[in-house]
Amino acid sequence: MRISPPLRQQDWLALNLLGLHAALAVGPQTRLGQAALLFHFGCFLLWQPVWRGERRLYPGQVVLVLGMALLLVAWDSLWLLALWICILFALIGGEVTAISRPRHRRISLLAALYLLTVLLLWVVPRLFDVPGGFTGLFLGAMRYGMLFPVLGIFLVREERGLRAPGESVDLFLSLTLFLLVVLLMLGAFTIRQVSHGDYALALAQTLVVVAALLVGFSWLWDPRGGFAGLGQVLTGYVLSIGIPFERWMHRLATLADQEREPETFLAEAVREMAQLPFVSGVQWRTPAGPGRAGQQSAHATTFDHPELTLTLHTRWAPGPALLVHLRLLARLLAEFHDAKRREVEERHGAYLRAVAETGSRLTHDVKNLLQSLRSLCAAVEAAGEEDLAAGQRLVRRHLPQIAARLQITLDKLELRDPARLDPRPAIEWWQELRVRHAHDPVSFLLSPLPEGAVLPGELFDSVGGNLIQNALAKRHVSADLRVTVRLNWDGAAALEVEDSGEQLAGTLAARLFNTPVASVTGLGVGLYQSARQAARQRYRLSLAQNRQGAVCFRLAPDPSHGN
């Protein structure tokens, strides 16, 4: 069984015009003409661009539709029919500017041409009882010839609706077209009555006058000769309606800069919103609790957002335009409130990240201290009974240094300048490093140092200890691993730690100092934290060499900051 395709919007428009044409042809005062008008109005309801897309009609809308149908059919008046044709022409013309597809625009132009021609050359002459010139051959041409534009609407090849999604009737343009058509109709009648001339000549004269008015209006629309232009005046008038909203927007932006806590910001913004002329009170509810400002009224509109429920009380029942306005206000407030909440979450996250980074950095410092204590204990145990005095001297010498380093590690938890350098004599620091790792398989090479050379002791202790421990950890993979530590001087101290292990993979080497990486050899978060610590003190930790049997890390001043 073959099912015929549903009618398109342009088909309903063409049937709408055919019903109107049939009513005019047989006479709207006859029973057949009234039936044609009823058919015309039914097709109009199926085509109309005002309620299109709505699935439900409210009782008030149903009463309005039935009242218009009864008025159009039962009231035998050419004046009413002429007014109805003017409304149809304004509706069709008001959506032409919103149509982007050429075929859709062609359909609207054919319908507008038909309505304007029928109005001026068929309805108005009968309305004003114009004698002669509109009977006989001319009336036959109108009755049958004007069917071609309507049939042309059927023949336009277009699969979808008359308008693209998002296209709508321009209310201002429709009102302007309606007034122009009424002016043309009444102007022609007035000129004919005053001059007692022919209607066609009066119509032509009216067209010339209206065209001249439109040209003058378009000339005055743009700024000329110091005059702001009608366009600027009209735009300023329309925009003046939104001045309270604009002031609230400025206040909202100011509050966003001043208030850090989301709930305080929300309370202040709602108090400002309650001062708008069309708002009597506001209620809100967030996960932190409810609140209110202003006074309640019988007209409440609620807007729900993920973290904010806003109820706006207005002084009168909000119409469609005011409802859109209120929805925009609620959406803006919800977006600002959500942004404030995200700021708080980011501050908490930054605090937690700082705590985690500090703990990770201190863990490595404590690990280095533990290694020093182990080396000291190993030296005392290896001394034996005969070298007990030498072991005690070693303990008395190094325990104060370890205690001092532990105090420095604990001091890092305090709020201090992260970029302090803690200058220490380079020779002294080098000797202490050699003593700490005297029992480790590490070779130490010292380049000539200038007299009085200093280096940031805290930074070199932390980063140097971490590099040496990472290198020694590779001995689990390669038993004959060699580790070499060098202290060079090139305008400033530079520490190098090199091992003879396997080279690092390219992807691992690229990510080593930019993000924590998982590694069983100890090259994970430690190097990332060491690089960040070095950067805070204008030093740079880098992978100076990466090849098989020669993997070298270098800690030196960052050349981008100068010496």
pLDDT in tens, 254-304: 888 888 888 888 888 888 888 887 788 888 888 878 888 888 888 888 888
- Residue reference for tokens 């022609």: 188
CA 458 to chain centre: 47
CA 499 to chain centre: 52
CB 209 within 8 A of CB 187: yes
Query: What is the structure's pLDDT at 516?
Result: 67
Q: At 246, is the pLDDT very low, low, confident or very high (cuts 50, 70, 90)?
A: confident
Residues 75 and 194 in one domain: yes
How far apart are the C-alpha atoms of 298 and 335, rounded to whole Å? 27
CB 192 within 8 A of CB 202: yes
Is the pLDDT at 486 greater than 80? The verdict is: yes
Parallel/antiparallel/unpaired status of strands 289-294 and 299-305: unpaired
Domain end call among 206, 221, 236: 221
- The mean pLDDT of the chain is 77
Q: Is 510 exposed, middle or buried (0-12, 13-18, 19+ CB in 10 A)?
A: exposed
Residues 463 and 545 in one domain: yes
Q: Is the dihedral of CA 43, 44, 46, 47 positive or negative?
A: positive
How far apart are the C-alpha atoms of 65 and 85, rounded to whole Å? 17
CB 459 within 8 A of CB 534: yes
Residues 118 and 258 in one domain: no
Domain contains 158: yes
Query: What is the structure's pLDDT at 417?
Result: 47
Query: Once rounded to an integer, what is the mean pLDDT over residues 318-323?
Result: 72
Residues 93 and 133 in one domain: yes
CB 103 within 8 A of CB 156: yes
- 141's torsion region: left (phi>0), alpha (psi -120 to 50) or beta? alpha
Amino acid in position 207: L
The per-residue DSSP string of 300-338 comes to EEEEEETTEEEEEEESS---HHHHHHHHHHHHHHHHHHH
The CATH code of the domain that includes 429 is 3.30.565.10
How far apart are the C-alpha atoms of 76 and 30, rounded to whole Å? 9
Residues 189 and 262 in one domain: no
Is the pLDDT at 20 greater than 70? The verdict is: yes
Query: What is the structure's pLDDT at 215?
Result: 84
Query: What is the structure's pLDDT at 468?
Result: 87
How far apart are the C-alpha atoms of 219 and 252, rounded to whole Å? 40
Q: Is 301 exposed, middle or buried (0-12, 13-18, 19+ CB in 10 A)?
A: middle
Closest CA to 120 of 109, 134, 99: 134
Domain end call among 324, 346, 368: 346
Domain contains 57: yes
Domain end call among 320, 346, 372: 346
How far apart are the C-alpha atoms of 555 and 487, rounded to whole Å? 10
Residues 25 and 98 in one domain: yes
Domain contains 29: yes
Is the pLDDT at 338 greater than 50? The verdict is: yes
Residues 273 and 181 in one domain: no
Domains: count for the chain: 3
How far apart are the C-alpha atoms of 519 and 532, rounded to whole Å? 19
Query: What is the structure's pLDDT at 553?
Result: 93
Residues 196 and 76 in one domain: yes
Domain limits for position 549: 420-561
Parallel/antiparallel/unpaired status of strands 423-425 and 454-456: antiparallel
Domain contains 283: yes
Comparison of pLDDT for 369 and 26, the residue scoring more: 26
Query: What is the structure's pLDDT at 415?
Result: 45
How far apart are the C-alpha atoms of 316 and 84, rounded to whole Å? 32
Query: What is the structure's pLDDT at 494?
Result: 92
Residues 175 and 299 in one domain: no
Q: Which two tokens stand for residue 61?
A: 């809308």
CB 497 within 8 A of CB 520: no
Query: What is the structure's pLDDT at 161?
Result: 45
Q: At 407, is the pLDDT very low, low, confident or very high (cuts 50, 70, 90)?
A: low
Q: Is 82 exposed, middle or buried (0-12, 13-18, 19+ CB in 10 A)?
A: buried
What are the distances in angstroms from CA 96 to CA 99, 107, 111? 5, 10, 11
CB 115 within 8 A of CB 89: yes
The fraction of the chain above a pLDDT of 90, given in percent, is 4
How far apart are the C-alpha atoms of 319 and 138, rounded to whole Å? 48
Domain contains 234: no
Residues 179 and 257 in one domain: no
The fraction of the chain above a pLDDT of 70, given in percent, is 72
3-state secondary structure of 556: strand
Residues 342 and 443 in one domain: no
Residues 71 and 196 in one domain: yes
